[in-house]
Amino acid sequence: MISARMGSAAVTALVLLSGCGSVGVALGMRTRLDKLPVTAVSAKLSPQASLTPGKSGRLVLVASGTDGKTWTTVGAKHGDVLFDSYKLEPTVVKVNANGYVSLPADPRLSSRKSARVHITVVGHPDVQTDLDIPVKYNAAYAAHFPGASGNDGMSGIDGMAGADGVAGSASPANPGGNGGNGQDGSPGGNGSDGWPGQTVHVSVTLQPGPTPLIQVRAKGDRDEEFFLIDPEGGSLSIDAFGGEGGRGGRGGRGGSGGIGVPGGMAGNSGLDGSDGQPGSDGKPGKIIVTIDPAAEAFRDKLHFATRRGAGAGAGAEFHTEAVPPLW
C-alpha cells in the first residue's frame, strides 16, 4: 500500500523530472502570471550583472502587484513562476526556455553592440521592462589546437578453456581422464602514435577606439577562433600540443584448465597475453604570431605553448608588422 507521503514524493519527483509546467501549475507547485494582478516587473542577471563571450547567466524576474505582493521566477530563492509567463526578446544575447542568457563566444557578434533583453508579461502587454547587459572582455581565454589522438590498440583474444577429462569409473583400474590445458591469450595490439599538433597562425592588433582592446585571430589547420581581450584583467593562452598516443590493447586472458573426472589431473590454465604498448604522443605543433607594433605593449597578455610543461612562449615564432583590424 502506498502512503500519502510516498505518493506526494512520487508526484513531486514526476514534476521535477518531466519539467511539465502545466502539471506543476495544476498541483500548485508552479505559477503563471496571466491571471494575476501584475502591474510591474523588474529584472536582473545572476550570479553577476555582466557577461563575457561564451558565458551565461540566469534571469531573475520579479513581478509585483498593487498590493505589494511579488512573484519570482523559478530557480531564484525558491521562486515558482514559470518563464513562459514572459515574452523574452533578446538582442545580441540568446535566452533559452529556462531563462539562461548566453553571450556568443565569437566577439565579432558583440563588439560595439548593446546586449539587452526586452521583457513583457504574458497576459499583461503593458507591463514591460528592458534589461541591459554589460559586455566585458576581461576573461582568461584559452584556445586549443591539438593533433588528433592515436588509435587504441585492439584487445587480445581470450584463450579457450581446456576440455574436462573423460569420466572413468570408481574402480582404480579405470580412473578418470585428465583435464586439457587452457589456451594462452593472444597479446593486445599496440596503440598508434598521436598526430602532430596543428600549425597555428595568430594575428594580433588593437581595436580602434578610446579603450585599448586586443583583437586576435587564431587559425589552425582545422579551426579558426577570434578573441577580444581587455588587457585590464584579460589574457589569452593558445596551445598546439601533439595528439596523445593510443592506449595499448588489453592482452587476452588465458583459458582455464579442464577438470579431471573423477580423480584425473586438472589441466593447466593458459597464460594471459601481454598488453599492447601505448603509442607515442604526437610531435609539437607550431605557432606563428604576427603582432602589430601598437599591440606590442600587451604581449605579456598572450601565452603560447607547443610542449606540455614548457614555459610561456615556448615554440612560438614572433613577427612584428602592421596588422589591420581583424573585423
Domain assignments of the chain as residue spans, ordered by start:
32-133, 137-327
| Rounded distance between C-alpha atoms, residue 70 and residue 60, angstroms | 12
The answer to whether the beta carbons of residues 242 and 196 sit under 8 Å apart is: yes
Please report, in tens digits, the pLDDT of each residue of the chain (327 residues total): 455 555 555 445 444 444 556 655 544 568 999 999 999 999 999 999 999 999 999 999 999 998 889 999 998 677 999 999 999 999 999 999 999 999 999 999 999 999 999 999 999 999 999 999 999 999 999 999 998 888 888 887 887 777 777 666 555 566 667 777 777 777 788 888 888 889 999 999 999 888 899 999 999 998 999 999 999 999 999 999 988 888 888 777 777 766 766 667 777 777 777 888 888 888 899 999 999 999 999 999 999 999 875 544 456 899 999 999 999
- Nearest by Cα to 238 from 218, 222, 253: 218
Output the nine-digit C-alpha cell for 124: 499583461
- Partners of 202 in beta bridges: 218, 289
Task: Lay out the sheet containing 224-229: strands in order across.
Answer: 224-229, 213-219, 199-207, 286-291, 316-320
The answer to whether the beta carbons of residues 96 and 88 sit under 8 Å apart is: no
What is the value of pTM for the model shown? Answer: 0.74
- Give CA separation, 74 vs 50, 60, 83, 308, in Å: 21, 8, 8, 44
> In 10 A of CB 85, how many CB atoms?
23
The answer to whether the beta carbons of residues 197 and 204 sit under 8 Å apart is: no
H or E segment at 14?
helix 4-18
**Does CATH place domain 32-133 in 2.60.40?**
yes
- Nearest by Cα to 83 from 36, 119, 46: 119
H or E segment at 26?
helix 21-26
Chain CA centroid to CA 54, Å: 12
